[in-house]
Amino acid sequence: MASNRVAFVVGASRGIGRGCARHLAQAGFDIAVAARTLHEGSEPGGLPGSLDTVVSEIESRGRSALACRMDLLDRASCRAAIERTLDEFGRIDVLVNSGIDHGEGMKCFADTPIEDYDRAFSTNVTAPLLLIQNVLPSMREQGGGIVINISSGAGQNETRDLPGAGGWPLLYSITKAAINRATTGMAKELRAQKIAVINLEPGVVATERMVEVTSREGIAGAGGVSVDVPGSVCAYLASHQNPMSFSGRTVDAPQFCVWAGLIDGTTLPFPYGPAAWGAPPEIAIAGQTTGVGGGVPVPPAPPDAT
């Protein structure tokens, strides 16, 4: 059994999950990558990306990788992927929940069959909770761990634009809101076991899906940040000497990566880069304008202060 730190990354065949896996490998983690697409070119929608490709990228960074084909709608495959990782690596230090079902296009609520909501909640909410429950025993046994849930501003912010005309569908928003809220509750319950549960708000990210699919339906993804932005912050949180200090919080990746010096902030597009610096945001991203949900703590005044 390996004694190295191990991360289990869901939705790692492409997009934000792939970015997180690469940066975690660079930070010294062995990685189990989980998704439906094992081989390049086998994605039904024609999107690039596969577990095979990500495994090669991880191994090129000198780390061990394990490809786990997993479907969030298949509970047995979720449990089996966790068990296989524990058998192979002996531990899971970090779980990154990045997989998600985007639904069938940018439909308005009235045009979305209620069965689509059943599916979305199963993949976007219940499946991540299941995965968390399945890693808890090993994390408790080893004395702690970190759960990073990929959040979304759509979980608390609404646009003026309709779905398909620049806005996002309610189906996506309310499932993200559920996970955002679940993180704070789990953080409270698991703090005694030193298991940190963190929301990572990635910002608008130019993933393969965003650029090739979503942009055709009203949201311009090509101007988003690189997957290296949330990926670098994910690895920073996973490697932090005091990860419990972030537990129960929402960390805004585009802002935080600049503060922590992980990315050259001058290269970020609007509204994350210099063109927006110094101006109040139009809406509070991640619940607070500070970039860390709950605000930046202010030291208490000295006892003799008047």
Rounded to 5 degrees, φ, ψ at 288 are -140, 155
With a CB cutoff of 8 Å and minimum separation 6, the contacts of 255 are 272, 285, 290, 291
Cis before 163? omega within 30: no
Own/partner long-range contacts of 73-76 (Cβ < 8 Å, ≥24 apart): 73/101, 73/119, 73/122, 73/123, 73/127, 75/127, 75/130
Phi, psi of 67 (to 5 degrees): -95, 125
Calpha distance 245→214 (Å, rounded)? 35
Q: Read off the tokens for 238.
A: 């996973």
Annotated active-site positions, please?
Answer: 172
- Count of residues making up the chain: 306
Strands in the chain per DSSP E? 6-10, 30-35, 65-69, 94-97, 145-150, 195-201, 250-252
